[in-house]
Amino acid sequence: MNTMIIAENVVKSFGQGTERRNVLDGVSVDIAAGDFVAIMGPSGSGKSTLLFALSGMDAVDGGRVVFDGVDLSQLSDDALADVRRRRMGFVFQQPTLLRNLSVLDNIILPSMRDGRKRARQIREKARILMETTGIAELEARDVTQASGGQLQRVGICRALMSDPAVIFGDEPTGALNSTASNEIMALLADIHRSGTTIVLVTHDPKVATRAERVLFILDGRITGEHLAGAHDASREDLRVREGALSGWLTEMGI
């Protein structure tokens, strides 16, 4: 498989002077096209920072991140924005939707940035995605009128609008109840099956169970990797995978 993302000896620091500390301390990782990777670790271990570095949303202080053959540190802010808009999708813990816009407008917003002339196709595509994700009835609604699970689906629809190569998720189910969480993860698994690379950060083993690779990060370094392989998403399969992951996490000290 082609390598989609290469992180080489990535360093990211916060704070100033003597207070400055490396949140990422020489992280190296390769993510192949079509991978489903979960990054786990305790609070403050640097997992979200790694996700932001891999997606080019945060500039790194050392090392480099290569996305689809392009060194992200060499790109300008605007070129990075173009890459994010055209090749990446994002799903955050909170819905990160614009309150002034309707649900449909939020979904099509990034695509309308340079596709205004294709407005009709964009609208149609958004409707299909909403239909697929089960939120068709929200189209004209205000974002404040939707539930947390629905909003997360809106976020996923928005992420899928550009047919991204990768979807990055930062605790995408962190604010949801277990039912909604399962539904969202099932959705992401479907998306992955269609060929999209997925990289997500989570502290929830149930969520990580869906991933093929689980990276464990501690004090800014990747200290372990659990290869779970592909799954059939059956309850039984998931239960077995969850058991294996729990055992590994115990080994990692959690």
**Residues contributing to the site for other proteins (CB under 8 A):** 48-49, 52, 57-58, 77-78, 81-86, 90, 92-94, 96-102, 104-105, 108-110, 112-113, 116, 119, 123, 140-142, 144-145, 158, 162, 170-171, 174
Provide, rounded to whole angstroms, the least separation between the CB of residue 53 and other proteins: 8
Provide, rounded to whole angstroms, the least separation between the CB of residue 99 and other proteins: 6
For other proteins, give the closer residue by CB, 78 or 232: 78
Provide, rounded to whole angstroms, the least separation between the CB of residue 100 and other proteins: 4
CA distance 29 to 108: 33
CA distance 58 to 14: 12
For other proteins, give the closer residue by CB, 24 or 188: 24
CA distance 53 to 34: 19
For other proteins, give the closer residue by CB, 11 or 233: 11
Provide, rounded to whole angstroms, the least separation between the CB of residue 88 and other proteins: 8
Q: Which of 170, 240, 161 is nearest to 198 (CA)?
A: 170
CA distance 130 to 82: 24
CA distance 126 to 103: 10
For other proteins, give the closer residue by CB, 86 or 231: 86
For other proteins, give the closer residue by CB, 176 or 238: 176
Strand order in the sheet with 36-40: 88-92, 166-170, 197-201, 36-40, 213-218, 221-227
Helices (H), 21-76: 47-54
Provide, rounded to whole angstroms, the least separation between the CB of residue 241 and other proteins: 25
For other proteins, give the closer residue by CB, 58 or 212: 58
Cβ atoms of residues 31 and 197 within 8 Å: yes
Q: 33: helix, coil or strand?
A: coil
Provide, rounded to whole angstroms, the least separation between the CB of residue 170 and other proteins: 6
